[in-house]
Amino acid sequence: MFKKVLVHARRGVKLIILFMIAIFLMMGAVAFLYKPTYSVFINGQQVGYTTNKSDLQHRINEYVDHGDGTNDNVAFVQVNDLPEYKLCLLKRNIVTNDEEIYHKVIEQGIPYYRYYAILEEQQEKYYVASFEEAENVVNTLKDKDSENIEKISILEKYETGIKDLVSVDEVVSKLYVEKKTAVKVAKNTSSKASAGYVNTATTTSSGKASLGISLIRPISGTITSRFGVRSSIRSSAHTGLDISAPTGTPIKAAASGTVTFSGRKGSYGYMIVISHGNGVQTYYAHCSKLYASVGQTVAQGETIAAVGSTGNSTGPHLHLEIRVNGVAYNPQNYVY
């Protein structure tokens, strides 16, 4: 009896070994004939294959963040349909087409150019390439004690078209207005000129104003729409930053403050507004759930809401705004 059991056991072991060898040989054959590859889709349509998803996506991200390098004023490129990847096994003789996929992505890109408008009485007059140049214009007009210094301000602009840019000297020469009398110059130099410059730094959308607080990222995710972008789903330029994330992702307070709004508001959907003092506010919109109520004091990093797609939204994401005295600033100058 014992011998029979032993014989059956040996046969079972042999069968297991043979089965494992067969599996090993099959895996070897698959590895020899096939290779792990990513099938790439754009807007639901397959456009090719890549074996290196990370390198291809990194190259696309660089294009979205900086453009193709031909123009220094490109702030970013709006690409509505980014690629999706699905892992698959392909025969080794199948040729990948990373370059073709990359060009399919960038051919739909819309470059947004960043420049700075010099305003007089809130009317755009001239455009310069950098914030430093815009500041030089204001400082020079201040030093020259221009009569209109209080009416001059700076506005950061994002547009799909390229503006005619002019030099600092040309802007100064066209905007400078000499004071009418020496008496007025002596009386008003320190107050009016200084006040005009302070207004420029604190009440425009230049994105360079000091908030007086340090912000953290409310969520981690992919930026899907940037500040200043125009779209068919909006009636005006985008006043915030959209960060894609799954529904229910916890949203944290970017800084400590007091909740001044918690509820549903038009196209924002469910939204929370936190006031941080000195006119600084942060908006968190399109939420699925709100955890903080009006009047509540929240700490930096405290969970206040959850990502959703309420209001005017095409998918789950956080719409983040930073406002100072009601004026929207580019969140990417502070976070992300």
pLDDT band at 201; cut points 50, 70, 90: very low
Mean pLDDT of the 117-132 span: 89
Quick check: 111 and 64 in contact, CB under 8 A?
A: no
Give CA–CA dist 111/65, Å, rounded.
10
Quote the DSSP letter at residue 255: S
| Domains of the chain by residue range | 113-202, 222-333
pLDDT at 26 (0 to 100): 65
Give CA–CA dist 225/112, Å, rounded.
12
CATH hierarchy code of domain 222-333 = 2.70.70.10
The pLDDT of residue 67 is above 60: yes
pLDDT at 237 (0 to 100): 77
The pLDDT of residue 262 is above 90: yes
Q: Give the three-class secondary structure for 248.
A: coil
User: What DSSP string describes 65-118?
Assistant: HHTTSS-TTEEEEE-SS--EEEEEEEETTPPP-HHHHHHHHHTT-EEEEEEEEE
pLDDT at 31 (0 to 100): 57
Give CA–CA dist 313/315, Å, rounded.
6
Of 3 and 279, which is predicted with more confidence?
279
Of 301 and 74, which is predicted with more confidence?
301
pLDDT band at 8; cut points 50, 70, 90: low
Q: Give the three-class secondary structure for 214.
A: coil
pLDDT at 198 (0 to 100): 29
pLDDT band at 207; cut points 50, 70, 90: very low
pLDDT at 229 (0 to 100): 80
Of 20 and 50, which is predicted with more confidence?
50
Mean pLDDT of the 237-264 span: 93
pLDDT at 193 (0 to 100): 30
